[in-house]
Amino acid sequence: MDPVGNTIGLLRFVLNSFSQIQLAREFESEFERYQLKLDLIQLRLSRWGEIVKLNKNNSIASKDLATPVNRAEGLENPTGDPTTGILLEIRDTVAKAQRDARKIKNGTSSDQLLDADECLPADLRGLHTRFKGILSKRTSQTIKVVDGLKWAFYKRDHFDRFIADISSLTDNLEGLLPEGDRQRLWELSSDECKGINKPNLEELKDIAQDCDPIIENASGEALRNARGGANNVTQTHNIGNVLGFNNGNFNVNGTHHWGRN
């Protein structure tokens, strides 16, 4: 398979693997934080995929990529492509987490799994549904959860390490994008926040801080707009003109505090 096909297959494989994750009884307290972190990691990877238009290449998407589990497990990176290399490391991180989860399951007294639709608080269920819808649209397919492929986290520290590792690798993946494309990541995350109410934005900003810094900033911006705006300034040098963006009221007779909420 060519490098572009490798990249598509790997991304689909990773997203499919994430869609099979469940959380065990230990996560019942604060379940919403952990489930939404899973949602955000998937959303973040799909945002990157949207930028590089992985699901827009019909000549490749028409191949057997609807079943990524059968296509990406044996892929390697003989050409040394950095993007493929990072995606392979993400794939291998997922595979290791699955193996470790099986070991932890064998040593735990309870393997009861939680259902997201039942355990999410009613006020946050809409966020979960919203993110699943965006993910489905971006991948041009509905990722189906197959019982035989489900896997679960049983311990919080295992989950936290996994999220930290995937987030760090995604940082590297995003860092390979040109400057203009990184700006586009911000624009997509701003769109993801549109229409979310203030309480949900506050929850989102808090949960995203250690797994999706882009949507953390976008939700913070949406919150500032919802609160009536803020005065912000961008200045690269201490001489010359200053470019400022003002949202909300501006007191021309008083002292101006730039960048303050």
Q: Which tens digits make up the pLDDT trace of 49-92? A: 998 874 455 333 333 333 344 445 556 665 678 999 999 999 99
- Domain span at residue 171 reads 3-227
* Count of structural domains, the chain: 1
- Establish if 45 belongs to a structural domain: yes
- Read off the pLDDT of residues 148-202 as tens digits, 9 standing for 90 and up: 578 999 999 999 999 999 999 999 999 999 998 999 999 999 999 999 999 999 9
The Cα–Cα gap between 61 and 57 comes to 6
- Establish if 177 belongs to a structural domain: yes
- Establish if 101 belongs to a structural domain: yes
Residue 151, H or E segment: strand 151-153
- Establish if 250 belongs to a structural domain: no
Q: Are strands 151-153 and 21-24 parallel, antiparallel or unpaired?
A: parallel
pLDDT of residue 53: 73
pLDDT category of residue 242 using cuts at 50, 70 and 90: very low
- Establish if 234 belongs to a structural domain: no
CB atoms within 10 A of CB 249: 8
- Establish if 252 belongs to a structural domain: no
The Cα–Cα gap between 204 and 219 comes to 7
Judge whether 95 and 174 are in contact, CB under 8 Å: no
- Read off the pLDDT of residues 209-231 as tens digits, 9 standing for 90 and up: 999 999 999 999 999 998 875 44
- Establish if 174 belongs to a structural domain: yes
Instruction: Residue 13: give its domain's CATH number.
Output: 1.20.120.1020
